[in-house]
Amino acid sequence: MQTDSPTAGQTPTILVLNSGSSSLKFGIFTQVDGDETLLLEGSAQGIGRPDGSLRIGSPDGQVLVKQDHVLESQTDALKKLSQLLDERHYAQPAAVGHRVVHGGPHLRAHQRLTPEVLQSLREAVHFAPLHIPPALALIDEAMKIFGDVPHFACFDTAFHATLPPRAAQLPLPRRYVEAGVIRYGFHGLSYESIVRRLGADLPPRAVFAHLGNGSSVCALHEGKSVDTSMGMTPTGGVPMGTRSGDLDPGVLLYLMRVEKLDAAALETMLNRESGLSGYSDGESDMQALEKRAAAGDANAALAIEVFASAVRKTIGAYAALLGGIDLLVLTGGIGEHSAEVRKRICEGLAFLGLRENDPAGKVRVIHTEEEKQIARHCRDLLDGGASG
């Protein structure tokens, strides 16, 4: 594989960094025949945990780096990636694109990272405390390593800027709405990539469900987001791997008054100890839960049933909102790989014409392409176009 410069028909490369709360995915893309093509990809999983791992390889399956138990932080993974690029004489990327989960109330469009944009991100940390701090640390390190090229932020909230007021505004006094306490929605880059992939095949009324360690459901009308399950932060919506999803606000008041939990303790519990992990005494991985359930673990079985039921209820609500569903798309790690969860979600939706493995194709499993979507936005912005 040619590594020191683009081959004929290729354009300069773009490095994409997809930062999660405990993971980092990355890819190097070039443009071929009008779209982004992957040259190199990798992922760092379990960052900060003893079972962490780093994998870097080429799209044809060649493994270039495979290491375990080595990742103290996302910046550690980025340094190893940079070292590999130097060793294999990859050309300097023309730009670096960063997935940023939340930009707060003032950053709702994909854009170049400037000192002013970075300051706005620092001020928005409380909107996504699990995601923004490691993203800022990664951006800082990437700017040190790749300091001679422009860096761009692509926001998961940008896709949901089309939410109408009835979906975006929360039932709170208006002064809080004006301060940015609204529904933002997330997984927007994933949803954007599916809209682009479907193209003219996307029907007017669609529901997309991005199901993974973080999960959300989105209602789309004519390709635009009109409602979504996550709220002001990525903690809301359906129960997730370690996040609670929606709760009766009275539960939080109870925990504060009776259990004397402060904001920091609540944040830890809601984001790191709840959801599927709470039901199953610490297990958040769906594949592991399915194995435990098959072996007779009632708590694991309950976690799976609650998750699938919550997704199914949300899909049903969006059917009422849209006046029907022409297409249901399941994506993300669970959506793409768990046949059991897909089956449970679709059970009971036949009255909407939604059946798994239906030849009519109203339920589809589509691989999300967040990194490619980021590369597309960066290419547009690098070329002076608008993106968002």
- Per-residue pLDDT tens for 102-111? 999 999 999 9
Verify whether residue 281 is a known catalytic residue.
no
Give the pLDDT band (50/70/90) at residue 10.
low
Least confident of 69-73, 320-324, 325-329, 350-354: 69-73
The secondary structure element, H or E, covering residue 25 is strand 24-32
DSSP 65-133: EEEES--SSHHHHHHHHHHHHHHTTPPPPSEEEEEES--GGG--S-EE--HHHHHHHHHTGGGSTTTHH
Is the alpha carbon torsion for 31, 373, 58, 20 positive or negative?
positive
Q: Which of 33, 51, 148, 156 is catalytic?
A: 156
Of 231, 261, 258, nearest to 246 by C-alpha is: 231
Which domains occur in the chain, in start order? 14-155 (3.30.420.40), 199-365 (3.30.420.40)
* Mean pLDDT across the chain: 92
Q: How many whole angstroms from its chain centre is CA 260? A: 33
User: Around Cβ 82, how many Cβ atoms within 10 Å?
Assistant: 17
Strand arrangement of the beta sheet that strand 53-57 belongs to: 63-68, 53-57, 35-45, 24-32, 14-19, 95-100, 151-155, 111-112
Give the pLDDT band (50/70/90) at residue 386.
low
Answer for the pair 188, 158: CB distance below 8 angstroms, yes or no. yes
70 pLDDT above the threshold of 70? no
- Better-scored residue on pLDDT, 238 or 18: 238
Give the tokens for residue 372: 């490619």
Alpha helices in 124-244 (DSSP H): 132-145, 165-168, 174-178, 188-198
Give the tokens for residue 130: 């699990």
- Better-scored residue on pLDDT, 287 or 54: 287
The residue-averaged pLDDT of 129-136 equals 86
* pLDDT at position 2: 38
Whole-model pTM: value is 0.92
Of 181, 200, 188, nearest to 388 by C-alpha is: 188
Rounded to an integer, what distance in angstroms lies between the CA atom of residue 121 and that of residue 106? 9
Rounded to an integer, what distance in angstroms lies between the CA atom of residue 24 and that of residue 42? 8
147 contacts: CB under 8 Å, gap ≥ 6: none
The residue-averaged pLDDT of 327-342 equals 97
pLDDT tens track for 173-198 = 999 999 999 999 999 999 999 999 99
The residue-averaged pLDDT of 21-45 equals 89
Give the tokens for residue 349: 């939706």
Number of H helices, E strands in the chain: 14, 13
Give the tokens for residue 302: 């309950």
Residue in the block written with tokens 């044809």: 60
Query: What is the identity of the amino acid at 18?
Result: N
pLDDT tens track for 249-259 = 999 999 999 99
Give the pLDDT band (50/70/90) at residue 11.
confident
In order of 22, 71, 303, the CA distances from 49 in angstroms are 9, 8, 23
Give the pLDDT band (50/70/90) at residue 49.
confident
Percent of the chain with pLDDT over 70: 96
Give the tokens for residue 244: 């609670």
331 pLDDT above the threshold of 90? yes
Pairing between β-strand 24-32 and β-strand 14-19 as defined by DSSP bridges: antiparallel
69 pLDDT above the threshold of 80? no
Beta bridge partners of 208: 218, 329
302 contacts: CB under 8 Å, gap ≥ 6: 279, 280
